[in-house]
Amino acid sequence: MTTTKDLWENTLVELELTISPPNFNTWFRDTHIVRVEDNTVYLGVPSQFARDWLSRKFHKDILRSLRGLSENVRSIEYIISRGTKKTPEEIVSTPAAPSELPLEAVHTKSNLNPRFTLSSFVVGPFNELAHAAAQAVIRKPGIAYNPLLIYGPTGLGKTHLIQAIGNHFRVHAPDRKVFYMTSEKFSMDYVSALQAGKVHSFKERYRQYDLLVMDDVQFLAGRDKIKEEFFHLFNYLYDGNKQLVFTSDQHPNFIQQLEDRIKSRLSAGMIVSITPPDHQSRLAIVRAKAAVHKVVLSDEILDYLAATVEGNVRELEGALNLLLIQFEMREGPLTLADTKNILRTAAGTAKKAVSVGEVVKIIANFYGIEETSIYEKTRRKEVVRPRQVIMFLLRDDFHLSFPAIGDKMGGRDHTTVIHSCDKIKNELLSDSILNQEISQIRLMLK
């Protein structure tokens, strides 16, 4: 036998042919079969209006159609059901017990996640500047560094830091209006305000904040109307000495399709970068995260974790979580060998296949030199550096062997390659410009 849902859908199709569209839409909307029992169909309807009218006016039609599809239907009972569609919404919207005049409405307005606080932020050499800037902003909002822009690759705690600023305000200066959003939400709000013809109230709403925190401003690029709206909002808040805090995945000057007027404004206050953490910081982060979970892992394991899981803090956290679940499942303590095993099986991260030729092309392009010059036997300075970078990336990201790299680079000896890789690796520790260049290139290679 067909399901009750199908039965009712087929019945509706038939009824639709015999009943005028306005009548059909008015009375059969939101109806459904609740259950079928002892040859009686229990029909759920949204209100008593519908119940009374259906049973009086359309009863015969409904019964005839139902019988045509399912012979043993004898009668219909109409019940006012608390519509299937409405139920999930109600569960959400029924506040269990608001402790104050649904005050949480006021707090949810800030859109901040209370989990992100300054005290849970691990500070290391890689982010201490950003942390210091955040502290300054908290002490002298709107005056110290306005706007504050924090940039860096994904998963290094940008969002954590800016939300922490917002949360600090929310707790310590409750009379100030704080709002956190992503640039995506800003765009969506603008578009829907535009469609509803409420651009004015959109402007009003955003202009009331004392502290506006916007995540991922790079996504504003290329959207002309939204950029313009952002520009005006920026000016309004900035002129009122309201604090603005932004994040981006790269320096604003590198964001394409962003007008100079916006770039220069973003650069007007303080721009700080968060770079990937060094080993000591990673160790500190792993320790702090493990402590949150109240798990004690041996130094050996933590050290291994910090050393092997490359990439950003988020991945580090993911790897740690993986260990934690294993830790909970097994009885005894984790050994280093176990750890290695767990991480190896999980780390099946596939690199996208990019040909060497492509890598060379992209990097040559990036440095603005001829692609062919890379393969030549020249030692001009402007060619040597890019060549070394290429070798370093081929080794580090694509795991080619040293001889293979030498071969591809116009028949160079593998010791030349080893030297190049070491040189770049060493310089990376001290040279922040090189660091930036490499992360830019890595983005382009993805």
- 29, 60 in Cβ contact below 8 A? no
Q: Tell me the backbone φ, ψ of residue 94, rounded to 5 degrees.
A: -90, 100
Q: Identify which of residues 60 and 446 has a Cβ nearer to another protein in the complex.
A: 60
Examine residue 175 and tell whether it contacts another protein (CB under 8 A).
Answer: yes
- Residue in 71, 100, 239, 299 binding another protein, rule: CB under 8 A: 100
In whole angstroms, give the CA distance from residue 242 to residue 147. Answer: 9
Q: Identify which of residues 78 and 126 has a Cβ nearer to another protein in the complex.
A: 78
- 134, 148 in Cβ contact below 8 A? yes
Burial pattern 26-48, b for ≥16 Cβ within 10 A else e, equals ebbeebbbbebeeeebbbbbbee
Which of the ranges 98-106, 263-271, 318-326, 404-412 carries the binding residues for another protein, by CB under 8 A? 98-106
Percent helix, strand, coil in the chain, to 5, is 60, 10, 30
Examine residue 23 and tell whether it contacts another protein (CB under 8 A).
Answer: yes
- H helices of 29-110, in order, are 48-53, 59-69, 86-93, 104-108
By DSSP bridging, strand 178-182 and strand 211-215 are parallel
**In the bound complex, what is the minimum distance in angstroms from residue 242's beta carbon to another protein?**
12
**Count, residues near another protein per rule CB under 8 A:** 38
Nearest to 171 by CA among 128, 123, 118: 118
The pair of structure tokens assigned to 363 is 């990097």
Interface with another protein in residues 155-174 (CB under 8 A): 174
- 380, 414 in Cβ contact below 8 A? no
Interface with another protein in residues 261-290 (CB under 8 A): none
- Residue in 17, 71, 99, 433 binding another protein, rule: CB under 8 A: 99
- Residue in 208, 257, 365, 378 binding another protein, rule: CB under 8 A: 208
In whole angstroms, give the CA distance from residue 82 to residue 305. Answer: 53
Interface with another protein in residues 209-268 (CB under 8 A): 210
Which of the ranges 94-102, 273-281, 360-368, 370-378 carries the binding residues for another protein, by CB under 8 A? 94-102
Interface with another protein in residues 47-66 (CB under 8 A): 47-53, 56-57
Which of the ranges 20-28, 118-126, 220-228, 372-380 carries the binding residues for another protein, by CB under 8 A? 20-28
Examine residue 80 and tell whether it contacts another protein (CB under 8 A).
Answer: yes
Nearest to 70 by CA among 112, 93, 39, 111: 39
Examine residue 108 and tell whether it contacts another protein (CB under 8 A).
Answer: no
Which of the ranges 147-155, 204-212, 256-264, 386-394 carries the binding residues for another protein, by CB under 8 A? 204-212
**In the bound complex, what is the minimum distance in angstroms from residue 97's beta carbon to another protein?**
5
Which of the ranges 111-119, 175-183, 311-319, 363-371 carries the binding residues for another protein, by CB under 8 A? 175-183
Angle ∠(316,320,324) on CA atoms, nearest 5: 170
- Residue in 3, 25, 355, 401 binding another protein, rule: CB under 8 A: 25
Q: Identify which of residues 106 and 443 has a Cβ nearer to another protein in the complex.
A: 106
In whole angstroms, give the CA distance from residue 61 to residue 64. Answer: 5
Q: Number of C-alpha atoms within 13 angstroms, CB side, residue 122? A: 22
Q: Identify which of residues 205 and 425 has a Cβ nearer to another protein in the complex.
A: 205
Residues at the interface with another protein (CB under 8 A): 20, 22-23, 25-26, 47-53, 56-57, 80, 82, 86, 90, 93-95, 97-103, 105-106, 109, 174-177, 204, 208, 210
